[in-house]
Amino acid sequence: MKPFSYERAASPAEAVEAAVARPGARFIAGGTNLLDLMKLGIEAPQHLIDVNRLWLDTIEPTAEGGLRIGALVRNADLAADRRVRRDYAVLARALVSGASGQLRNKATTAGNLMQRTRCPYFYNTDMPCNKRRPGSGCAAIGGLTHNLAVLGVSDACIATHPSDMCVALRALDASVETVGVGGRTRSIPIADFHRLPGDRPDIETALEPGELITAVTLPAPLGGVQLYRKVRERASYAFANVTVALVAREGQMVRLAFGGLAAKPWRVEVAEGGADPDLAADLALAGATPTEDNAYKLPLARRTLKATLAQATEVRS
Amino acid sequence: MIGQGVIGQAISRTDGPIKVTGRAAYSAERQDAGPTLHGYILGAGIGKGRVARIDIAAAEAAPGVRLVWTHENAPEQGPAEGIEGDMMDRTRPELASDRINYYGMPIAFVVAESFEEARAAAGLITVEYEVEAGAFALDGFGPNLNWRRPSQAGDIDKAMREGPVTVEQTYSTPYHFSQPMELHACIADWRDGHLHLYLTAQMVNQLTTGLGKTLRLDPSAISIDSAYVGGGFGSKIVLHCEAVLASLATMALGQPVKLMLTRRQIFTLVGHRPASISRVRLAATPDGRLTALGHDALIQVRTDDAWDEGVSSVGKALYASPNRLTRQAHQALDVQPGEPVRGPGELPGLMVLESAMDELAEKLGIDPVELRLRNDTQIDPDKRLPLSGRRLADCLREGAEQFGWCDRPTIPASRRDGRWLVGYGVASSMRGHYQTSAEVLVRIEPDGLVIVRSDMTDIGTGTHTIVAQVVAEALGVPMSQIKVELAHTKHPKGNGAGGSWGAANTTVAADRACAALRQRIAAVAGTSYNDIFAEVRRHFPDGLEERGRTLDNKDDPNYQTHAQYTYGASFAEVGVDIDTGEVRLRRMLGVFAAGRILNAKTARSQLIGGMIWGVSAALQEAGALDPRHGHWVNGDFAEYLIPTHADIPAIDAIMLEDFDDKANHLGVKGIGELGAGGTGGSVANAVYNATGVRVRDFPITLAKLLPGLPGR
Amino acid sequence: MTATPRLPVTLSVNGETHVLTLDPRVTLLDALREHLLLTGTKKGCDQGQCGACTVLVNGRRINSCLSLAVMHEGDEISTIEGLGTPEALHPMQAAFVTHDGFQCGYCTPGQILSSLAVIEEIRAGVPSHVTDDLEAPIPLSDQEIRERMSGNLCRCAAYPNIMAAIRDYLGEGA
């Protein structure tokens, strides 16, 4: 871990200002992903801006009937919030299927959005990786790809996005609120927040330099039965092979997103609205480019969707 | 707890209170040497080749750095030795040449004033490699194999041709890693010409030979203290780089040096269980008598370090068959040397053989428990000696009864519980009983304390407790007046913890020391005294001590006349998600016959722990080696999956009342490996019973089950 | 050779205040182990993947390996050393001894702190992956406890005994 200087920001504006002023600066909140990557030399910020004391840790109702979740709300607190449990169950369920109790106590909403891939070749600094060193190549392609992406991949990168929370946010049409240089605020639809790798897999989000996430906004509740099914190779504390976030009403798939399949939460809007999970899977998984190692993810995603929809129907009845 | 009947009781660990309060100091936590410098290893980033150029200037100039070594400036050490001779006695020179033999092999070592500074400085070293093509994939059985360890009877090829019912299948088992929770660590302190090591090790005196030759020190100038060890499972038996590098550094700098490997480094700098490919051949008569039992195994090794995982060996003596052939061949790959990992040989071997037995039972239409009972034997088919303590049948029968085996679904994939397909499986366990020469000292102090000294380690095995129990019984003194001092080279030499031999070695030797003490006292005080301490005070005012010894197997007449093993049977019930193929253990029972049990509580814990290793071998654990670059792709706890709480339901282990008088006079054998033995096989067979899908490439993951799963 | 810059930080651990000057790279875990010599908090992976380093910060359990010490100015940190002593064990510690909820003991401080936090989390209504009804009170079931304890790996695999210890503790009137 390279040496870095450290400061505690007192306001979002101050944090943004510091980030712009200091080359190689990074925000740190929970630190559960960033510090791990720093120890391995994957991230090497020269300056850390501790944003934990910015008072962005409340969950407030919005005028539109939704919720505004502060960037620093911890994953455990978000899952435990009464309104989230009642109105956004898919989000609560996604949150608690990720990581461990200890990590969820520390990890923040914004940090979860910024989580980087667990691709084992990204994690090994002896291997070329276009995310770590743009243009160096991708060691994962042609390697062991059991848990790498089958959709939205490029010749430069086949990493998967590791977050569960983001899959639920994508299904719920959340938006990400930020403050940037000069105090400029904007709201980024979650669909546009994470990027597919293309030829620049190192650019993972729509954030601009110095831009700070201040909140995540959820639209008014969708109702329906909300489920999050995570398939993994041990019962807990493991990254997903495939996940399904589903909001169903009267047997219809109102919202549907997949995790574990791509570099971002995978949602194909035209696959939604029907009651036939096979048709939905055909539409959602079209264009997949699996390897021999990860081809299992396609039938697994289809079967998991069917099972989740069946479960939603049982819950209703 | 006084006197008779202490042995066997379910006494809580004597070191429990200091462990649950965080007061037990493991190696890296020892304060004996005072403040330390901190080391950090830079490992090779390629699988095979050489260091063409290495630049340490920036690292040397970094804050807090005290030394940076590479092959160009590291101290001279004893040269690497060939694979002949005992693996425990070999040198382990580090940074000795520009050669890179495996990914992660140390190519530089930094010592700095803090851990943070050492790690950062290691990151400043730049390296250019000359990469060579390496061999990183196990190919399968080729022609012209050099077969080793053959054990043969009759004509297996003929028996297979004649059948009438045969099974011939190929199975593969992956790399496994011990990965104890305590990181491999060493504090080395060179002080007044003596090297003091606080090292996480399963054996201490054994390490001084190889370490002494490496450091060019007389072994008597080396002390190793491993007072508390956070698990070993085989990975802390041989000498590793942390001991060598920390020692060299403290000798060069004259200050104590601490070196803790990182979790990721333990996947490269400590050995693994080699991967294997097995071909199993079984033939039987229609009524289930084996006529052929064959197990050919191809084992991954290194050319210069042939740790030979005995995958095929379990077939030698598990079942009787007139025609039998077990043997193994090697394929050398460019990965780090293999090492013992819990259940060496039998964990993968039994998982494979007991899967094949399940396949045979199905072909025959015979209950899998019954098939095993029909092929029981009282004569070791390999050694042709009577088996002592052969109670496999008792374990199977008792287990079947207690588990409710009669309720097993007889047709695969026939039972549902909601979304779960439910299945039962059984497998046998077996583990050789070994004893080696060991010495233990027992001293009675006149002031009312008994001190036991042995270099045996307690790696979570409960050694402190069981030794105190045996001595309490032998001398008739309360446990509270016995102090057990272990795990230091200054104590009498035993054979450490490993191979399931520690308990028998240490307690038998301790008991003999106590017998000698009783004789000494009886000679002056008769045998009808009430207070042993009063007699010692009267007749031996300076205290009294004796040493007890055990014989090595090769010197033990019983070992020449009887083949000695421990036995078990495990029964598993699993659920397989009909949609996703996720496998979850629902319940499990193990029944074991392992000689006299010294402590019902700690023994049960160790057996259950071993069984859980079997569960994860069947379902989760697999080191993934990149076939192009030779690095461990899943080298951390997020990717190399070991079970969590949520994976493990209630599990029980029953220990049959047993006493093996051929093993030793206490009737004691080991249990450390036995629980892990066949458990993987019972889980694998339960998965088949649940799904009708037979996966022969371990572990059984959802991706392998999916194609064969029935629809909803 | 320039010196590593250091920052002042005041840590409150088990009710005691410690004034330290630390390299900002020092994790909370290493501050406890290397600087305060509180080695009951264990380093098992240093990557947030095993739970051996679990401590309570302001009453909540976290992995101390994935947090910088300088970020904990003003926090109340509780470690295993603050719970009980060998002579006067906390009831959960006593239950671990009675039920043999450990073998090597290395993951044990983390398991014990987690088990106490898990009970509080269930009572506070924090849902888990196995919580069926997100709005109803959460039962202190084995399934809930196992799921929530899953961030604490034990390679000796003392899991069934740890569960027995927690159940015993709950039965004793926690």
pLDDT tens-place string over residues B438-484: 999 999 999 999 999 999 999 999 999 999 999 999 999 999 999 99
Mean pLDDT over residues B538-547, rounded? 98
Q: In this predicted model, what pLDDT tens digit does every residue of B409-427 receive, in sequence order?
A: 999 999 999 999 999 999 9
Give C166 or B551, the one with higher predicted confidence: C166
Residue whose C-alpha is closest to residue A6's, from C35, C5, B121: C5
Would you place residue A314 in the very low, low, confident or very high pLDDT band (cuts 50, 70, 90)? confident
Half-sphere exposure in the Cβ direction for A178 (13 Å, CA): 24
Q: In this predicted model, what pLDDT tens digit does every residue of A193-246 receive, in sequence order?
A: 999 999 999 999 999 999 999 999 999 999 999 999 999 999 999 999 999 999
The distance from CA B370 to its chain's CA centroid, rounded to whole angstroms, is: 31
Q: Spell out which residues of chain A touch residue C134, defining contact as CB-CB under 8 Å.
A: 85-86, 89, 92-93
Strand partners, B325: B152, B294
Contacting A residues, span 279-308, partner chain B, CB-CB under 8 Å? 296, 299-300, 303-304, 306-307
B498 and B237 in contact (C-beta within 8 Å)?
yes
Tell me what the pLDDT averaged over chain A comes to: 97
Assess: ipTM above 0.90.
yes
Calpha distance B311→B299 (Å, rounded): 8
E strands in C38-161: 54-57, 60-63, 76-78
- Secondary structure (H, E, C), B423-442: EEEEEEEEEECCCCCEEEEE
The distance from CA B421 to its chain's CA centroid, rounded to whole angstroms, is: 33
E strand or H helix at A130: none
Q: In this predicted model, what pLDDT tens digit does every residue of C4-19 receive, in sequence order?
A: 899 999 999 999 999 9
> What sign for the dihedral angle of Cα A267, A270, A271, A275?
positive
Q: Which residue, chain included where needed, has tokens 């693994």?
A: B272
- In this structure, chain C runs to a length of 174
Record the tokens describing residue A132, joined without a space.
């770590």
Q: What is the DSSP letter of B202?
A: S
Record the tokens describing residue C25, joined without a space.
């790279």
Calpha distance B508→B263 (Å, rounded): 37
Record the tokens describing residue B595, joined without a space.
């000689």
| Cis previous bond, B699, omega within 30 | yes
| Residue A315, pLDDT above cutoff 80 | no
Residue B367 in 3-state DSSP?
Answer: coil
Chain A nearest-CA residue for C60: A105
Calpha distance B380→C163 (Å, rounded): 41
Which residues of B belong to the active site?
Answer: 673
Count the Cβ atoms, other than its own, within 10 Å of residue A14: 15
C59 to each of B185, C46, C73, C91, C118, how far by Cα in Å? Answer: 31, 22, 15, 18, 11
In a 10 Å sphere around its CB, with 0-12 CB exposed, 13-18 middle and 19+ buried, how is residue B478 labelled? middle
Strand order, beta sheet including B276-284 = B148-153, B323-332, B290-301, B276-284, B165-173
Strand partners, B438: B550
Q: What is the DSSP letter of B74?
A: S
- The predicted structure's pLDDT at residue B500: 86
| Residue C174, pLDDT above cutoff 70 | no
| φ, ψ for residue C148, nearest 5 deg | -75, -25
Determine the distance in angstroms separating the CA of C25 from the nearest CA of chain A, rounded to an integer.
7
Tell me what the pLDDT averaged over chain B comes to: 96
Q: Spell out which residues of chain A touch residue C126, defining contact as CB-CB under 8 Å.
A: 76, 79-80
Would you place residue B88 in the very low, low, confident or very high pLDDT band (cuts 50, 70, 90)? confident
Contact A234 B581 (CB under 8 A): no
- The predicted structure's pLDDT at residue C112: 98
From B228, B606, B642, residue closest to C155, measured CB to CB: B642
CA dihedral B200, B204, B208, B209 (to 10 degrees): -120
C121 and chain A: CB distance < 8 Å anywhere?
yes
- The predicted structure's pLDDT at residue B4: 66
| Residue A282, pLDDT above cutoff 70 | yes
- Name every residue whose Cβ is closer than 8 Å to that of residue B705 and which is 6 or more positions away in sequence: B576, B581, B583, B687, B691, B693, B695
| Residue B134, pLDDT above cutoff 70 | yes
Greatest CA separation for chain C: 61
E strand or H helix at B17: helix B16-20
Calpha distance A15→A179 (Å, rounded): 10
B539 and B517 in contact (C-beta within 8 Å)?
no
Contact C62 A106 (CB under 8 A): yes
| Residue C172, pLDDT above cutoff 90 | no
- The predicted structure's pLDDT at residue C1: 58
| Residue B631, pLDDT above cutoff 50 | yes
Question: For the residues of A220-240, what is the DSSP string, one character each?
Answer: S---SEEEEEEE-SSSSS---
For helices B502-525 and B532-539, what crossing angle results, to 10°?
60
Mean pLDDT over residues B223-239, rounded? 97
B465 and B480 in contact (C-beta within 8 Å)?
no
Calpha distance B105→B47 (Å, rounded): 9
- The predicted structure's pLDDT at residue B2: 45
From C24, C60, C67, residue closest to A6, measured CB to CB: C24
| Residue A316, pLDDT above cutoff 70 | no
Mean pLDDT over residues A296-316, rounded? 94
Residue C58 in 3-state DSSP?
Answer: coil
Record the tokens describing residue A213, joined without a space.
């996430």
C15 and C79 in contact (C-beta within 8 Å)?
no
| Residue B402, pLDDT above cutoff 60 | yes
A166 and chain C: CB distance < 8 Å anywhere?
no
Contact C129 A102 (CB under 8 A): no
Alpha helices in chain A (DSSP H): 12-21, 34-39, 75-80, 82-87, 89-96, 101-106, 109-113, 165-171, 190-193, 277-284, 297-316
Contact C134 A85 (CB under 8 A): yes
The distance from CA A23 to its chain's CA centroid, rounded to whole angstroms, is: 26
| Residue C29, pLDDT above cutoff 70 | yes
Calpha distance B565→B300 (Å, rounded): 26
- Helices and strands counted in chain C (H then E): 5, 5
Determine the distance in angstroms separating the CA of A306 from the nearest CA of chain B, rounded to an integer.
8
B281 and B266 in contact (C-beta within 8 Å)?
no
Q: In this predicted model, what pLDDT tens digit does every residue of B204-216 receive, in sequence order?
A: 999 999 999 999 9
> Using alpha carbons only, what angle is made at residue A238 by residues A236 and A239, rounded to the nearest 5 degrees?
135
* Residue B421, amino acid: L
B273 and B338 in contact (C-beta within 8 Å)?
yes
Residue whose C-alpha is closest to residue B486's, from B220, B204, B232: B204
* Residue C28, amino acid: L
The distance from CA B608 to its chain's CA centroid, rounded to whole angstroms, is: 15
| Residue B86, pLDDT above cutoff 90 | no
Calpha distance A183→A210 (Å, rounded): 11
| Residue C86, pLDDT above cutoff 60 | yes
Contacting A residues, span 30-49, partner chain B, CB-CB under 8 Å? 39-41
B141 to each of B159, B294, B297, B330, how far by Cα in Å? Answer: 22, 15, 9, 10
Q: In this predicted model, what pLDDT tens digit does every residue of B285-312 receive, in sequence order?
A: 999 999 999 999 999 999 887 789 999 9
Mean pLDDT over residues A84-93, rounded? 98
Determine the distance in angstroms separating the CA of C65 from the nearest CA of chain A, rounded to an integer.
9
Determine the distance in angstroms separating the CA of A19 from the nearest CA of chain C, rounded to an integer.
18
B3 and B514 in contact (C-beta within 8 Å)?
no
- The predicted structure's pLDDT at residue B83: 78
- The predicted structure's pLDDT at residue B1: 39
Q: In this predicted model, what pLDDT tens digit does every residue of B42-79 receive, in sequence order?
A: 999 999 999 999 999 999 999 999 999 999 999 999 99
Contact C67 A80 (CB under 8 A): no
Q: In this predicted model, what pLDDT tens digit does every residue of B233-264 receive, in sequence order?
A: 999 999 999 999 999 999 999 999 999 999 99
Calpha distance B473→B491 (Å, rounded): 22
- The predicted structure's pLDDT at residue C173: 46
B577 to each of B574, B582, B706, C140, how far by Cα in Å? Answer: 10, 5, 10, 25
